[in-house]
Amino acid sequence: MKSAVIVFPGSNCDRDAARALQRITNTPAHMVWHKETSLPGGLDLVVLPGGFSYGDYLRSGAMAAKSPVVRAVIAHAERGGLVLGICNGFQVLTETRLLPGALARNAGLKFVCKDVPLAIDNADTAFTRAYRSRTETEIPIAHGDGRFVADEEELNRIEGEGRVVFRYKANPNGSARDIAGLINDRGNVLGMMPHPERATDIALGRTGGRAVFESLMDAA
């Protein structure tokens, strides 16, 4: 699988994502600086990593969404290429409108960093097929602006189309309908607040996110 990880000023999980991809696919990921105007050719997957792009000024992900490389990421998605946005990357995806809704300040107004149990709501996507024999997993979160919000009409549409992929079993941030991760209507773009790249190695005591990358490798 040929993949790329986008690096913004303030990204702090880009290397973690690259290591997870290397560990599972045995192929190094391309690290692409945000000022680039194009992506490497022949990519299967683009990852928008977690962190605090541009210091989370204005709104989390708002400035990163205007970076030159993001136009190429949007074009990649529109061609049917796979895109995974993790935490801050999820925020960027909503700012670009590749995904609906928005990520707002946590309901408790505090940064939350802990392992969270997740229900796997849809195990028939390019990002989750390796979870088919499971109904839940556990992946860590680390965010201050992770509360997913959308109006009722949008939420009903997302639910009705089966686009909720992960759901919090114990909601840590007030996300509408416990949504922790969702896909676009085409099924090739996933945004999720939990960090699967931090849960791929038994040496770190967490493997609950490994199946995300295994699913992507199979899909590619």
**Tens digit of pLDDT per residue, the chain (220 long)?**
999 999 999 999 999 999 999 999 999 999 999 999 999 999 999 999 999 999 988 889 999 999 999 999 999 999 999 999 999 999 999 999 999 999 999 999 999 999 999 999 999 999 999 999 899 999 999 999 999 999 999 999 999 999 999 999 999 999 999 999 999 999 999 999 999 999 999 888 899 999 999 999 999 8
The pLDDT value recorded for residue 89 is 98
Q: Which residue type occupies 6?
A: I
- Beta strands 147-149 and 82-86 are unpaired
CA dihedral (19, 67, 98, 170) positive or negative: positive
Structure tokens belonging to residue 110: 């505090």
Q: Active-site residue 87, yes or no?
A: yes
Q: Let me know: does 214 contact 39? Beta carbons within 8 Å.
A: no
Residue 197 catalytic?
A: yes
Phi, psi of 38 (to 5 degrees): -145, 165
Model pTM above 0.85:
yes
So what's the pLDDT on residue 72? 98
Q: What are phi and psi of 147, to 5 degrees?
A: -85, 110
List the domains of the chain with CATH numbers: 3-219 (3.40.50.880)
Please identify which of the residues 76, 87, 95, 143 carries the catalytic annotation. Answer: 87
How high is the pLDDT of residue 16? 96
Return the pLDDT at 78.
97
d(CA 188, CA 48): 14
Query: What is the Cα–Cα distance from 113 to 155, expressed in whole angstroms?
Result: 26
Q: What is the pLDDT of residue 146?
A: 97
Q: How far apart are CA 127 and CA 171, in angstroms?
A: 22
In the set 34, 76, 143, 195, the catalytic residue is 195
The reply to whether 78 belongs to the active site is no
CA distance 51 to 182: 19
Residue 183: partners with Cβ closer than 8 Å, 6 or more residues away: 99, 122, 125, 127, 163, 165, 189, 190
Pairing of strands 102-104, 82-86: unpaired
Q: Which amino acid is at 188?
A: N
The pLDDT, as a whole number, for residue 204 is: 82
Planar angle of CA 19, 209, 52, nearest 5 degrees: 65
